[in-house]
Amino acid sequence: MIYLETGLQSADKTAVLDCAGAWSYGELARHAAQVSAHLRQRERLSSGERVGLFLQRRKESVALLLGVFGAGGLAVPFSVRATARELAHQIVDADISRIIFEASSRKVLEDALALAQAKGTSAVIIESRALLEGSATTADLTPDPDAPALILYTSGTTGWPKGVVHTHASLAAQVETLHRAWEWSGEDELLHVLPLHHIHGLVNGVLGALRAAAKLRFLDAFSARVVWDEFAAEHATVFYAVPTIYHQLVECLEQEDTATRQRWARAAGQLRLAVSGSAALPARLWTRWQEITGQALLERYGMTEIGMAISNPYRGERRPGTVGQALPGMCVRIIAETGSEAGNGTPGEIHVRGPSLFKEYWGQPEATEKSFRDGYFLTGDIADVRDGYVRILGRASVDILKSGGYKISALEIEEVLREHPAVREVAVVGVPDAEWGEIVTACVIAKSAETLTLEQLRDWCRDKLAPYKLPRRLELAQDLPRNAMGKVTKTELIRQLTQARHNDK
C-alpha cells in the first residue's frame, strides 16, 4: 500500500503516537493486516461493501482504516460527534453493511440503527477491539487502484450531505501532489488536531504523513494551551488547522504573561509548515499570526470532491486573503457568467480538473453528471484572480448575496467587519426579503463588555465598502451554528434568522 511503502523500509521507525503510546511502521502494518484478515475471513466481507467507522484520533483508527482498504471494503468514516439522525442518513444512503465501533459510540449507534432499520436498512456491528485483538497475521494490503476506497460526506452546507466516492488512485494522487508541493519528508512530524471524517484531517493529514514515512502525533482533544505546549516541546514540524483553531491559539497566547508568550511564539516560529484550510482565513488573522510567530501561514483551497487544487507556494510569496495558484497536475479555470474564462479581477466559478477528482456522488448519477462540464468539476465557489493569485469570494449559494439587484460577496463584508474593535466573530448572510431579494445581515459575536449597534457597523464600513454592500441588519449572538470542522453553517443560520423574522411578524 502506497501509504506504508516508504515507512516499511525502516519498519522500526515510529509511525503513530497518541495518548496511550506509539506504534512503529512495522507494528501499524501488522495491525492493519490483522484487521484486513479478520474482515475477509471471519466477517466474509466482499469487495466494495460499505464499512462504517468511528475514527477517533488514535493509532487504532489508522489500522482500522488501512485494514478496511486491504480487505477491499469501501470505508465510510463517521463523525464521532454525529447525531443519531445524521448517522442514520449515512447508513441508509450508503447502504452500509458493517459498522466498526467503540464502546463510547454504542448508544448513539444503537439509536441510529433503529432509525435506519425503520427505513429498511440494517447493518452488522463489530466492536473494534475484536478486529485488533489476537495474534499478528499477514494479509495483502494492496487494493486495486481503480477500486472505490472512501465515501466522505460533504459538510451539508447546501442541503443533505452527499456521499463523495474516492478511489485509491484519486487518494494517492492527492497525497502525492501535497508530498511534492509542500516538501514532506521522513523527518517531519505532524501534530494532528482535526477530525478524521474529512479530506483535511484524513487524507491531507493521516495519509499524507504516512506516505512521507513521517510521524503522526494525535492530540486526543483540542486545547489551545496543549497545542502551544506541544509546539514548545519542539517535536512538531507540520501543523494543519482551520481558521477557528488559529483564532483560539492567538486568543490563548494573548492572555498569558510575557515570558510564556515569547516562549510559545518562538516555538511556533520553528514549525516548517503551518497550513490553514477548510474555511476562509481572515487577512487580519494571517497578519497577527505572522506578527506573533514570524511565520506566514500557508492557505490553500480544496473540497471533498477534488482534494487540494490550489495552494500558496511552499517556497515563494504567500499572499494573505488568497489561496495561491493551481497545484502541479491540477487544471483550474475561472468561468464568468458569460460562460467564458474570466479576466484578471473578474469573478467567476472555479472549475477544476485533475487526477485527484472524485469518482461519483454515491447513488446520485444525475447530481454527478450535472457537476461536470468538459471534464471539469464545477465547484460552486466564486473567485477571482489578481496577478496570478486566486481569491475566494464565497460559495455561490450562500456567500454571493443578491440584494437590490447587486451581487455581493459576504466574505468581503466579513473581512471589513472583523476589523471593528468590538467584533470578535462575524458571519454575513442574505435573509430572504420581498423588497430587496435578500437583506445583507451581519451576525456578530461581540467582544466581552462591548456594545454595538447597526449604525456603528455601517459607519465603520462607509469608507471601505460601496453603499449597497453595507449591512442592513445586525444580529448579536452568543454563538453561531457550525459543522465538525468549525465552519459556520450558513444555511442553518439563514433558516434560524428567517424563522425568527417570521415569528416576529
**pLDDT tens by residue, 181-233:** 999 999 999 999 999 999 999 999 999 999 999 999 999 999 999 999 999 99
* Share in percent of the chain as helix, strand, coil (round to 5): 35, 25, 35
**pLDDT at residue 138 in the model:** 57
| pLDDT tens string 10-24 | 899 999 999 999 999
Decide if 451 contacts 457 (C-beta within 8 A).
no
The DSSP output letter for 327 is P
pLDDT band at 163 (very low <50, low <70, confident <90, very high): very high
**pLDDT at residue 263 in the model:** 95
Report, as an integer, the average pLDDT of 456-466: 88
Residue boundaries of the structural domains of the chain: 18-143, 400-504
Query: Dihedral through CA 486, CA 304, CA 351, CA 318, nearest 10?
Result: 50
pLDDT band at 156 (very low <50, low <70, confident <90, very high): low
Asked if domains 18-143 and 400-504 share a fold, the reply is no
Report, as an integer, the average pLDDT of 331-346: 90
Range 400-504 classified under CATH 3.30.300.30: yes
Of 212-221, 260-269, 403-412, 457-466, the poorest mean pLDDT is in 403-412
| Mean pLDDT of all residues belonging to the chain | 91
**pLDDT at residue 505 in the model:** 60
| pLDDT > 70: percent of the chain | 96
CATH class entry, domain 18-143: alpha beta
| pLDDT tens string 285-300 | 999 999 999 999 999 9
Of 158-162, 174-178, 231-235, the poorest mean pLDDT is in 158-162
pLDDT band at 274 (very low <50, low <70, confident <90, very high): very high
At 293 the three-state DSSP class reads helix
Burial annotation 266-297 (CB, 10 A radius, 16+ → b, else e)? ebbeebbbbbbbbbbbbbebbebbeebbebbb
How far is it between the farthest Cα atoms of the chain? Answer: 70
Task: Inform me whether the pLDDT recorded for 157 exceeds 60.
Answer: no
Question: Which of residues 501 and 206 earns the better pLDDT score?
Answer: 206
